[in-house]
Amino acid sequence: MIKVEKLNKYFGDNRAVNDVTFEINKPEMIGIIGRSGAGKSTLLRIMNRLTDATSGSIFIEGRNILSLTKKDKRAWQKDCAMIFQQFNLVPRLDVLTNVILGRSNIQGTLRSSLKLFTKDERVDALMALDKLGMAETALQRAETLSGGQQQRVAICRAMMQQPKMILADEPIASLDPLNARLVMESLRNIHREKQITVLANLHTLDTAKNYCDRIIGMRLGEIVFDDVPSSLKDDVAREIYGAEAEEAFEPTVTSTSLGDEQFAEAG
């Protein structure tokens, strides 16, 4: 399904991504861990085509998405939704418009720019918002919401894109414990319900272990671990995190989940 081959990215002499190769053969929830500067964000940004790779290829259903340009590239971006640490909503626009703009690729420039949205689009956006308990804020400006609320709106916008996969770059790093859990739960629910791959950069080990079926560890731009969470030994994890190990090993907010289902899993 997804095949990343010999991906490299240089910033000047700095090799941010170093010969990265991996495959995703079924819809998975994958956590990418590593200390800051390991190249996690760069990898996701290359997949979404926000940043150009120096060399290598990414095949999705046989097509190298790194060679797409213009319209084709934007069509791929629509298929591959991205969630950011800083939410990246348009602060002065209302929540509903922010969410509907997830469809801007399909709407076309004219219709988007004039906010000529269809009734279906509004209904879809409201349903997405309602699912994350955000429907009441639909007419509020995005900038008036708390971080956790903004991230939930960002997830709604991602869902409006009807994506084939979701990339999340440190989606909970700026959130309070409750919202961090809410966001991780919704990402996992989306993965299960829609049967799509979710690839998330996560700073803390606990979160990755609790929510992901597979963990990729990155160090200095290279993949140094790629397996199920249970085979990630502590010494390997320490190696991946280096000086940041103490912080990354702390039991986190997301280690106790919200629903009964998670208690069952943990026990």
Return the one option of Mg ion, other proteins, ligand ADP, none that residue 91 interacts with (CB less than 5 to 8 A, by type): other proteins
Q: What strands lie across the sheet with 222-227, from one edge to the other? A: 80-83, 165-169, 197-201, 29-33, 214-219, 222-227
Question: Closest approach of Cβ 194 to other proteins, in Å?
Answer: 17
CA–CA distance, 119 with 125 (Å, rounded to integer): 10
Q: Name which position in 6, 21, 63, 91 contacts other proteins (CB under 8 A).
A: 91
Q: How far is the CB of 89 from other proteins (least distance, A)?
A: 6
Which residues of this chain interact with ligand ADP, rule CB under 6 A? 11, 14, 16, 34, 36-42
Q: Torsion angle of alpha carbons 37, 59, 196, 163, nearest 10°?
A: 90
DSSP run (H or E) holding 189: helix 177-194
Owner of token pair 């941010």: 16
> Do 173 and 203 meet the contact criterion of CB atoms below 8 Å apart?
yes
Q: Out of other proteins, Mg ion, ligand ADP, none, which partner does residue 57 contact, by CB within 5 to 8 A per kind?
A: none
Shortest Å distance, C-beta 76 to other proteins: 7
Rule CB under 8 A: say whether 84 interacts with other proteins.
yes
Q: Is 43 left (phi over 0), alpha (psi -120 to 50) or beta?
A: alpha
Residue 3 binds other proteins, judged by CB under 8 A: no
Stretch binding other proteins (CB under 8 A), from 4-12, 70-78, 124-132, 218-226: 70-78
Beta carbon of residue 201, minimum distance to ligand ADP (angstroms, whole number): 6
Question: In the complex, what is the shortest distance from the CB of residue 174 to Mg ion, in angstroms, rounded to a whole number?
Answer: 12
> What's the one-letter identity of residue 239?
E
User: Cα 73 to the chain's mean position, in Å?
Assistant: 18
The tokens describing 79, both together, are: 């298929």
Give the footprint of other proteins on this chain (CB under 8 A). 48, 50, 73-78, 81-82, 84, 86-93, 101-102, 104-105, 108-109, 112-113, 154, 157, 161
